[in-house]
Amino acid sequence: MSENAGLDWHTRLLELLPNLRAFANSLCRDTDYADDLVQQTLLKAWKSRYSFHEGSNLKAWLFAILRNTFLTELRKKKYEAEDPDDELQNSLTSRGGQQSHMDMLDFELALSKLTQEQREVLILVGAEGVSYDEAALICGCAIGTIKSRMNRARERLCELMGVRGAEDFGPDKSDLGQNTVAPS
Amino acid sequence: MPDDPSTKDQNDNNLMYSAMDNDQPPERSAAEINLEKMIGDRLKQYYAARLSRPLPDKFADLLRDLAKKEAE
């Protein structure tokens, strides 16, 4: 590492902070805890920076550290924002029989009911925009596993929302007519 | 052994169909593609809201401290 490595490292970590924080938030769904996770990730990354291979994917490396930290703590503390009274589930399933409207609150609730593995893959690939390869790297599994988790996550999300097609999405749907594929 | 030209096309066709049967994902309907797009849009909205949250100073402070210690 060069003399300026400390400075470069500092800048590069700073640039990725919003993404790290958003990913942490999506994983644990608790702002304070997400900030703790980010802080721990920064410390670990700084400590291990000499083991990072220059030219490889820094974002994937940091996300993997954050994810591992989260999972280790989850196992240790059995921390999970569960829904003990199943209020979320009830609120979702009660609407399942209707032509449900998908607003953002419903979406977030449904997302929170997914397994941790399903949620993280949706966030990584669908929102953060990482490739299947990168997601496999971050999650420490095969690309095929990521793809099947992704499919299952989408299916489960739709199931929870009572959504069967794009037409079931709520009023804040985006440009349905312009950006979607015309039915054959 | 060279290919027998009389059966080559048939073999190619068989190989092609076999590859289609085994390797190609089933064709997705327009409805499925639209649904995927809608889910993708929602995910991006959800994530964008988290990405745009203002960062507390504590992270930058921490990194600055670490860089400072490194320099000393």
ipTM metric: 0.72
- B47 to A123: CB separation less than 8 angstroms, yes or no: yes
| Residues sharing a CB contact under 8 Å with residue A115, sequence separation 6 or more, in sequence order | none
Q: What is the pTM of this model?
A: 0.71
**What is the three-class DSSP state of A57?**
coil
Nearest-CA residue of chain A relative to B38?
A166
pLDDT at A94: 44
Is residue B64 within 8 Å of A11, Cβ to Cβ? no
Per DSSP, what are the bridge partners of residue A102? A169
- Say yes or no: B7 contacts chain A, CB-CB below 8 A: no
Mean pLDDT of B27-47: 86
The three state secondary structure string of chain B is CCCCHHHHHHHHHHHHHHHHHHHCCCCCCHHHHHHHHHHHHHHHHHHHHHHCCCCCHHHHHHHHHHHHHHHC
pLDDT at A131: 95
pLDDT at B32: 80
Among A14, A35, A43, beta carbon nearest to B60: A14
Is residue A13 within 8 Å of B63, Cβ to Cβ? yes
> Which residues of chain B lie closer than 8 angstroms to A128, CB-CB?
47
| Residues sharing a CB contact under 8 Å with residue A183, sequence separation 6 or more, in sequence order | B29, B30, B31
Is residue B30 within 8 Å of A9, Cβ to Cβ? no
pLDDT at A7: 56
Burial of A32 from C-beta contacts in 10 A (0-12 / 13-18 / 19+): exposed
pLDDT (tens place) for every residue of chain A, 184 residues total: 444 455 588 889 999 999 999 999 999 989 999 999 999 999 999 999 888 888 889 999 999 999 999 999 888 876 444 554 454 444 444 444 444 444 788 889 999 999 999 999 999 999 999 999 999 999 999 999 999 999 999 999 999 988 776 666 655 444 433 444 444 4
* pLDDT bucket at B25, cuts 50 / 70 / 90: low
Is residue A121 within 8 Å of A146, Cβ to Cβ? yes
- B58 to A179: CB separation less than 8 angstroms, yes or no: no
Burial readout A160-184 (b: 16 or more C-beta within 10 A, e: otherwise): bbbbebbebbbeebeeeeeebeeee
CA-based nearest residue to A70, from A138, A151, A148, A154: A138
- Say yes or no: B25 contacts chain A, CB-CB below 8 A: no
